[in-house]
Structure 1
């Protein structure tokens, strides 16, 4: 798989951690969810490197000491509509208030 893009999504505004998605040239998506530590040392800049490190450990079949590995389909892959809606709501909350207010235009038609 040739990685053609990455996306870093904060969990709980980044306080809880980040999800890093690696997008392949064939449309594959590998998602790594990283939990933040008590010092909140994980950030948007170092999340990609930490995700790559974790994937390397997984590829060599060694989990970090005291941790277990599990596999589950992403909400997108499993078509979990409820989780997708929750993720959308969380993303909207994390970006509120936006720099540009919502623009509403009303029209009236006289009969």
Structure 2
């Protein structure tokens, strides 16, 4: 897979962490979710490098070691068809864009012409 794009998505405005998505030339998407700690050490500037380090660790792990206590692979919510998880992710994304997601308020004004003539 040749990476053609990278996207950093904040979870709850970055408070919970960030999801880094690596997009491949064949349309593949690999997502790495980085949870933030109390010190808020994960930010939009270092998220890509941290995600790369996680992927390198996973690639270096022994293949076929099913009984390890390390990370396990799972399908994304979209691939698994988990509508509840998809809705939850959508809600988190919308909350992260608040107040930019609010509709524009339109107000009208009137200009007075002065006293009416009888």
Same fold (TM over 0.5): yes
Alignment of 1:32-47 (within 5 A): 32-47=32-47
Report the equivalent of 1:89.
Answer: 91
**What TM-score, normalized by structure 1, do the two folds share?**
0.80
**Quick one: distance in 1 between partners of 2:19 and 2:8?**
6
Shift of residue 103, structure 1, vs aligned partner: 6.8
**What TM-score, normalized by structure 2, do the two folds share?**
0.76
Contact 2:6/2:20 (CA < 8 Å) preserved in 1? yes
- How many residues in Structure 1 have an aligned counterpart in Structure 2? 100
Q: Which has the higher contact order (CA 8 A, sep 6+)?
A: 2
**Quick one: distance in 2 between partners of 1:9 and 1:43?**
10
Structure 1 stretches of 4+ with a deviation exceeding 2 A read 99-104
Report the equivalent of 2:53.
Answer: 53
